[in-house]
A and B are shown apart, each in its own frame.
Chain A
Amino acid sequence: MFDLKKHIKATCLDDAIALLIENPNARLIAGGTDVLIKLRHGKKGYSELIDINGLEELRFIKQDKQNNILIGSGTVFSDIIQSDIIKKHIPMLSDAAQSVGGPQIRNVATIGGNICNGVTSADSASSLFSLNAVLVVKTQGAIREIPISDFYLGPGKVDLKKGEILTTIIIRPDDYMGSFGYYYKYAMRNAMDIATIGCAVCLKVKHHILADFRIAYGVAGPVPIRCLKTEKSVTNKKITLKLLDDISRFVAHDVSPRTSWRATKEFRMNIICELSKRATKKALNRAGEGL
């Protein structure tokens, strides 16, 4: 039995928002793969739930007239893997979705829950950082758009106020069209393990020049991070093996990994540097640059 005191099923998004406001101690549950684990472990603060599990309104992947790709927060990882839009335009997000848990988890875990849970290891988070994703957050009478890089306030803490629900993740055409990406997850086991380090790269190439470069990490700090200094230093440089080495040296200054029972800080740093090369190379290969 889960230690639940109250459970209210929301009939639609607006109902869920109203219920969150009426029940200030309640939390949302979507796929429950984080919430129910916390309840199992006796964690406090989850005994009142507003249930948005399976709300069709939040489950979609589409492209609008301006070519923005819109992903509903209630979309499960299996939907992302199967989506033709994602396969065609953002294969790196498929990589990331494939790397989450096992089939049973991917069938119920939502991308919105993955982000809102606020952990640095969330496989979708680092990818969305490198894609400059924008989050649409709704409450009664107000909608906010937040760049994902501003959303993480600290470990397990995201910029959601009482009564706010993440509805949509937007990826703008500038950030995916003509871009090539790769998500590299390093974990101790090939499957069913959370990332020791996750590295997402998204880039554009013009005449063998790195025209745009975005690199983000999970578990390289208390929250997912972008390596902005590195990005600045290598943009508009000619694509060579030396450039890959430069990237791997520069990223070390942009990150702040920690020691945990999974891995030491030093080991993580090693992986961070190595993955920058591997992920960049894979993304370059996808862009048709043979290195």
Chain B
Amino acid sequence: MTDQGFREIIFSINGKQRTLYIDIRSSLLEVLRNELGLTGAKEGCGVGECGACSVLVDDVLVDSCIYLAIWADGKAIRTIEGEAKKGKLSKVQQSYVKEGAVQCGFCTPGFIMASTSFTEKNKGESVTEDEIRKAHAGNLCRCTGYQNILKAVEKSIEP
């Protein structure tokens, strides 16, 4: 590594401004988990296949395992930890609970962020099952068989 190995980034994480001095080699996922202690986002595959590390960057859904941490500079990051407001779960989170869409829970933080991105984009619109499936095609779940996740997303879209 050269002396350029570290860089300052300023970004907001779940609404709070932060300044960090980070190793240029880190992924956003590594910074979230190791520097900020936000261990909601998980590392499943590390190569963009499973979505367990999904977070929102300026409200765009990305896999944080293949997103350079330095790209977060100047951006607003949202993770599962910021979704419950004042101790109250978000509508998407509540729907997952109600529909029993969680088993081991490893995939859940990533799924919730994908569902959150989808429901925010389609607020007040009617969506098809196929659209819900497509919007979650980047997330894998080894436990639930997806049926209850699908129901939870349908429920989160309801007005």
Question: How many angstroms from the CA of A41 to the CA of B30 in the assembled complex?
Answer: 17
One of B30, B47, B61, B114 near A37 (C-beta < 8 A): B47
One of B1, B26, B61, B70 near A103 (C-beta < 8 A): B61
B79 interfacial contact with A, CB 8 Å: no
One of A2, A7, A9, A108 near B62 (C-beta < 8 A): A108
Residue of A nearest to B68 (CB): A32
Cβ proximity bits B31-44 to A, threshold 8 Å, 1 near / 0 not: 00000000000000
CB pair A192–B2 under 8 Å, yes or no, is no
List B contacts of A192 (CB < 8 A).
49, 137-138
List B contacts of A9 (CB < 8 A).
70
A263 interfacial contact with B, CB 8 Å: no
A54 interfacial contact with B, CB 8 Å: yes
CB pair A107–B137 under 8 Å, yes or no, is no
A:93-122 near B, CB below 8 Å? 101-105, 107-108
A53 interfacial contact with B, CB 8 Å: yes
Cβ proximity bits A29-49 to B, threshold 8 Å, 1 near / 0 not: 100110011001100000000
Residue of A nearest to B4 (CB): A6
Q: A1-B30, A7-B70 are in contact. Are A105 and B1 (CB under 8 A)?
A: no
CB pair B138–A102 under 8 Å, yes or no, is yes
CB pair B71–A53 under 8 Å, yes or no, is yes
List A contacts of B27 (CB < 8 A).
1-2, 36
Question: How many angstroms from the CA of A104 to the CA of B61 in the assembled complex?
Answer: 6
Number of interface residues of A (CB under 8 A): 29
CB pair B62–A104 under 8 Å, yes or no, is yes
A4 interfacial contact with B, CB 8 Å: yes
CB pair B25–A2 under 8 Å, yes or no, is yes
Chain B's nearest CB lies how many Å from the CB of A172? 31
CB pair A104–B68 under 8 Å, yes or no, is no
B82 interfacial contact with A, CB 8 Å: no
Secondary structure class of chain A's binding surface, majority of residues: loop
CB pair B60–A33 under 8 Å, yes or no, is no
B143 interfacial contact with A, CB 8 Å: no
Residue of B nearest to A7 (CB): B24
Question: How many angstroms from the CA of A40 to the CA of B1 in the assembled complex?
Answer: 17
List B contacts of A153 (CB < 8 A).
none
List A contacts of B114 (CB < 8 A).
103-104
Question: How many angstroms from the CA of A54 to the CA of B48 in the assembled complex?
Answer: 19
Q: A107-B60, A107-B62 are in contact. Are A102 and B24 (CB under 8 A)?
A: no
Chain B's nearest CB lies how many Å from the CB of A94? 13
CB pair B46–A40 under 8 Å, yes or no, is yes
Question: How many angstroms from the CA of A107 to the CA of B71 in the assembled complex?
Answer: 14
B51 interfacial contact with A, CB 8 Å: yes
Residue of A nearest to B64 (CB): A104
List A contacts of B30 (CB < 8 A).
1
A143 interfacial contact with B, CB 8 Å: no
Chain B's nearest CB lies how many Å from the CB of A16? 15
CB pair A37–B48 under 8 Å, yes or no, is yes
List A contacts of B139 (CB < 8 A).
102
B144 interfacial contact with A, CB 8 Å: no
CB pair A40–B47 under 8 Å, yes or no, is yes
Chain B's nearest CB lies how many Å from the CB of A49? 9
CB pair B1–A101 under 8 Å, yes or no, is no
CB pair A33–B70 under 8 Å, yes or no, is no
List A contacts of B26 (CB < 8 A).
1-2
Q: A4-B25, A40-B46 are in contact. Are A102 and B70 (CB under 8 A)?
A: no
List A contacts of B66 (CB < 8 A).
32-33, 36-37, 40, 108
Residue of B nearest to A8 (CB): B4
Cβ proximity bits B124-136 to A, threshold 8 Å, 1 near / 0 not: 0000000001111
B93 interfacial contact with A, CB 8 Å: no
| Chain A interfacial positions (CB closer than 8 Å to B) | 1-7, 9, 29, 32-33, 36-37, 40-41, 51, 53-54, 78, 101-105, 107-108, 190-192
Question: 6 A-B pairs, CB-CB below 8 angstroms?
Answer: A2-B27, A4-B25, A7-B68, A32-B68, A102-B137, A104-B61
Other than A6-B4, A104-B62, give 4 A-B pairs with Cβ distance below 8 A.
A1-B23, A41-B47, A103-B134, A103-B137
